[in-house]
Structure 1
Amino acid sequence: MTAVPSEAQHGEQIVPHCHPWAQLLYASEGVIRVRTDLGVWIIPPRRALLIAPGIVHEVTMLSRVNMRALYIDAAVIGTLVAGCRVLEVSPLLRELIVALSAEPLEYPVPGRGEQLAQLILSELAAMETVPIAVPWPRDRRLQALCTAIMEQPGSRQPLEDRALDAGASARTLIRLFPKETGLPYRQWVQQVHLAHAFAMLARGDSVGTIARALGYASPSAFTSMFRRLLGRTPQHYLTEWRGHK
């Protein structure tokens, strides 16, 4: 295992690529978006994305980013990841990642770097998966619709109008959603809203601001959706993250 720190500006992209090793993408500051054939993830601080070896992924910086990428031998990662997992980053894991980033890329074994790597693997095994994945379709018509929704999650444009832009009827697209993404249309949109909400919460935006940005009639309507899907209110995460700044 090795850790590589980097900085990037808003809008920068890392073109689609893959690795023979597993990768943990963690931004201690800023928000990143990762796209694969499996789905799209918006990753704020306090979250990280664990990517299995061989998965092609594209990374877009949604703000100025201070990122640390862990590269983990496929034989070592074992069954910890199949596909991609969003993980809650504990304060301990965060400090371990920062500490390993300060070690040489080829640290001596045995030594401090190896000890840090072992502790990181132990923490990764204990981390909970956060259910904010946005499954991505393969059908080009559905991709056009999904891209439009991802870029403007709060738009109230009728589905019928969006469908015309995508080159299919609304009925056809709604029928395709479960087949292509595993989710009905409305549930897929809610996953998009959750992903954007986490990024905005990490930025410190209020629940009211987030509700308006995502097109909800009121903060209470947004909070109800959030709590129904995750079992906690957005205010819970907002208070928790503010406490860790």
Structure 2
Amino acid sequence: MNWKTIEAPAGLLPPQPLKVRVQSIPARHSFPEHAHRWHQMVYAISGALTVISEGESLVISPEQAVWLPTGLRHRVGSLLGAEFRSLWIDDATGRALAGESPMVFAVSPLLKALIVEAAAIEGQPDEDGYVSRITRLILDQLARARPLPAALAWPRDDTLARLCEALYADPADPRGPDEWGNVLGMSARTLARRFLAETGMSLRTWRRRMRLFRAVELLGGGMDVTRTALELGYGSTSAFIYAFRLEMGRSPQIYMRGREQSGASRLAAPASH
């Protein structure tokens, strides 16, 4: 199944200083490669996004966002579908925030809530200053963003991208390098060499990270630990919990509980004076 293109609307006006765009991206759809005269924060409130920019290709979860500076050519899509939120920030404001280099950063529960609220009030008159206050809070959060090396590397090579798409869609796929080499028309050694050159890691390491990436996505979507373990291809729930704890330093249950508590405490905390 080939990817399909989503046509962006024509005549888009620049943000002053911030604009929120809301869109659903169907599975295997993407925007064509393009650049803006403003900065962009790429984010999905659900699902995962594929972001391809000059010299880099990666996938981000709903806990992550990508900062795309003014003028950077990029393409955004989703393999399995996503609810897409895009923040456009004018050039001068953006340069003072996250800078002029692309980066992946963590989306705090507070920033997520602010984006959802900003999308809900987009286009409304700012009679009492509420819209301006939400905008200032979002800009404050973006100014605190720090680079995060936790995105999932994605090969630019079409053949290897087909492999990653298949494994991402079905993390339980048991086929190893020999079987996949036969499918892709190359030896296991060639596959290993090309994959390392494209992603900076072995296929084995990439699959482990991809499963962890999908685990956070599935658990965040409300799936229980046992079903998540089965979806990811682990032989048992305990094996999944062990692998998750090894990578994340805590069990899936504690990790998700911490996310929920963090979100509740940040949103309920009184403002400091």
* TM-score range normalised by the length of the shorter chain: 0.7 to 0.9
- Within-5 A mapping of 1:38-77: 38-44=56-62, 46-53=63-70, 54-60=72-78, 62=80, 65=83, 67-77=84-94
| TM-score, length basis structure 2 | 0.73
Distance 2:166 2:122 in 1: 42
Return 5+ residue gaps in structure 2 as ranges: 1-16, 265-273
Distance 1:155 1:4, change over 3 A: same
**What's the offset of the Cα at 1:225?**
2.4
* Alignment of 1:175 onto 2:199: no
The share of aligned pairs that are identical, in percent, is 29
The corresponding residue for 2:9 is none
User: What is the identity, as a one-letter code, of the residue corresponding to 2:85?
Assistant: R
Aligned residues: CA RMSD: 3.1
- Within-5 A mapping of 1:26-175: 26-28=43-45, 30-37=46-53, 38-44=56-62, 46-53=63-70, 54-60=72-78, 62=80, 65=83, 67-78=84-95, 80=98, 82-91=101-110, 93-101=111-119, 102-104=121-123, 112-127=130-145, 131-175=149-193
**What's the offset of the Cα at 1:156?**
0.4
Distance 1:130 1:198 in 2: 16
Distance 1:2 1:208 in 2: 42
User: What is the identity, as a one-letter code, of the residue corresponding to 1:188?
Assistant: W
Structure (1 or 2) with the larger CA radius of gyration: 2
Q: In the TM superposition, what whole-angstrom CA distance separates every residue of 1:133-185 from its partner, at most 9, and x where no partner exists?
A: 12122334433322322222210023211111112111111122322111122
User: What is the identity, as a one-letter code, of the residue corresponding to 2:237?
Assistant: P
Distance 1:23 1:106 in 2: 23
Matched residue SS, 2:92: helix
Contact 1:34–1:60, Cα closer than 8 Å, also in 2 = yes
Return 5+ residue gaps in structure 1 as ranges: none
Distance 1:125 1:237 in 2: 26
How many residues get paired? Answer: 239
Match of 1:8 among 24, 43, 68: 24
Distance 1:224 1:74, change over 3 A: farther
| TM-score, length basis structure 1 | 0.80
The corresponding residue for 2:39 is 22
Contact 1:89–1:127, Cα closer than 8 Å, also in 2 = no
